[in-house]
Amino acid sequence: MIVFLTLCYVAVLFLLIKVNIIKLNLFWKLSPIAWMLLLIIVLLIPMQWGAPSGAVNVYQHIVEIVPEVTGRVTDVPVSPLQPLKKGDVLFKIEQSPFEHKVAGIEASLKLAKINLQRAKKLVKNSFAAKATVDQYTAEIGSLKAQLDDAQYNLEHTVVRAPADGYVVGLSLTPGQRVSNTPGRGWVTFVNSDSSRLVIGISQSTSRNIRTGQEAEVTFKLLPGQIINATVLSISPVTPQAQLSASGTVPKAPSERDPAELFSVILQLEENVFEQAGLSSLDISSIPGGASGVGAIYTESGKLTHVIRKVMLRMDAWLNYLV
């Protein structure tokens, strides 16, 4: 933008010299340099903290689906990128072993209840010790707990969507054996209600950012369009602040360590992608991972906001080419 304004100044200066309004001398020869320095001091430097900008990216929660039980997959009724509602079936695991276990525990529980009734009659007639009743009572309690666990496992042979969203990269097929091993996902599920738009702002220019401030973003998948947003929250920590548990002594900070960007979470206007004619489940325009640039307009340096808005719109139109 500074170069563009300087070129505009040179063009105006050239016209004034051509029509003999001013005479070309050393002062006017050096004036473009002075003009550029003036723009840097008056506009560029204040704009860095008055209207800070940075790269933006849309993040979404990804759920690695791990079943509660181990078994052979019998059915996978979903397709990749198919819109799903919470509770829709993702895949089914063979139920026969779990049904047999439930039936066996139910039979044992029925027998234990009959034995309890018999024991109570024998104790009443003094033909058995009271400990027999206590034994069958405890057995019934244990069998009920086992039955609850077996029914829970049987119910979870049908794996359902944890929220509204869709499946991506589906490679699970009937006949494959799955397990409930932690950290081993069998289906990747995208929660469509968890999108977060984050803009990275340098630490030196983030001093005036507050929640509720206005912002604008432009996405590469929406060339020429400016989308309004507001500052929702500011992340109070960067990766440099994280200390992982280990057997080594943490390294002390050094002047050579780069200052990590602060993450500022923005809130877009509702249904901006639908208003732009894009389906959130269209493979060519999935919002998750959508990137671009954005700017936040603080209460400081308001005169520079116009320059930042012009620069952002230039980036939006350049998205048609780059």
Alpha-carbon distance of 76 to 170, in angstroms, equals 10
Q: Indicate the pairing of strand 262-268 with strand 71-75.
A: unpaired
- Does residue 158 sit in the same domain as residue 175? yes
| Range scoring the smallest mean pLDDT among 38-47, 58-67, 139-148, 283-292 | 283-292
User: Cα separations (Å) of 231 from 84, 131, 219, 288?
Assistant: 30, 69, 17, 19
Checking if the pLDDT of 61 tops 50, the result is yes
- Does residue 73 sit in the same domain as residue 17? no
pTM: 0.70
In a domain, 243, yes or no: no
In the chain, pLDDT over 70 holds for what percent of residues? 91
In a domain, 254, yes or no: no
In a domain, 37, yes or no: yes
Instruction: List the end-to-end C-alpha distance of the chain, in Å, as a whole number.
Output: 18
In the chain, pLDDT over 90 holds for what percent of residues? 31
- Does residue 307 sit in the same domain as residue 213? yes
Residue 110, domain extent? 62-191
- Does residue 173 sit in the same domain as residue 224? no
Q: What is the pLDDT averaged over residues 195-200?
A: 88
In a domain, 248, yes or no: no
Average pLDDT, whole number, for the chain?
84
Alpha-carbon distance of 196 to 268, in angstroms, equals 9
Question: What does residue 97 show for φ and ψ, rounded to 5 degrees?
Answer: -60, -35
- Does residue 96 sit in the same domain as residue 114? yes
**Token representation of residue 16:** 């004034």
- Does residue 105 sit in the same domain as residue 10? no
Contact between residue 101 and residue 155 where contact means Cβ atoms under 8 Å apart? no
In a domain, 244, yes or no: no
Please write the tens of the pLDDT for every residue from 142-170. 898 999 999 999 999 999 999 888 898 88
CATH number, residue 231: 2.40.30.170
Q: Is 63 helix (H, G, I), strand (E, B) or coil?
A: strand
Please write the tens of the pLDDT for every residue from 209-256. 999 999 999 988 888 888 888 999 888 788 888 888 878 888 888 888
Q: Residue 218: CB partners within 8 Å, gap ≥ 6?
A: 225, 226, 227, 292, 293, 294, 312, 313, 315, 316, 319
Checking if the pLDDT of 310 tops 60, the result is yes
Q: What is the total count of domains within the chain?
A: 3
Please write the tens of the pLDDT for every residue from 64-115. 999 999 999 999 999 988 889 999 999 999 999 999 999 999 999 888 888 8
Closest CA to 118 of 105, 94, 104, 135: 135
In a domain, 6, yes or no: yes
Q: According to the model, what pLDDT value does residue 271 have?
A: 63
- Does residue 70 sit in the same domain as residue 155? yes
- Does residue 22 sit in the same domain as residue 80? no
Q: According to the model, what pLDDT value does residue 155 have?
A: 93
Q: According to the model, what pLDDT value does residue 126 have?
A: 64
- Does residue 2 sit in the same domain as residue 98? no
Contact between residue 236 and residue 292 where contact means Cβ atoms under 8 Å apart? no
Closest CA to 266 of 237, 317, 229: 229
In a domain, 249, yes or no: no
- Does residue 41 sit in the same domain as residue 66? no
- Does residue 135 sit in the same domain as residue 216? no
CATH number, residue 122: 2.40.50.100
Q: According to the model, what pLDDT value does residue 283 have?
A: 47
| Range scoring the smallest mean pLDDT among 105-109, 129-133, 202-206, 233-237 | 129-133
- Does residue 66 sit in the same domain as residue 17? no
Q: Higher confidence at residue 4 or residue 104?
A: 104
In a domain, 245, yes or no: no
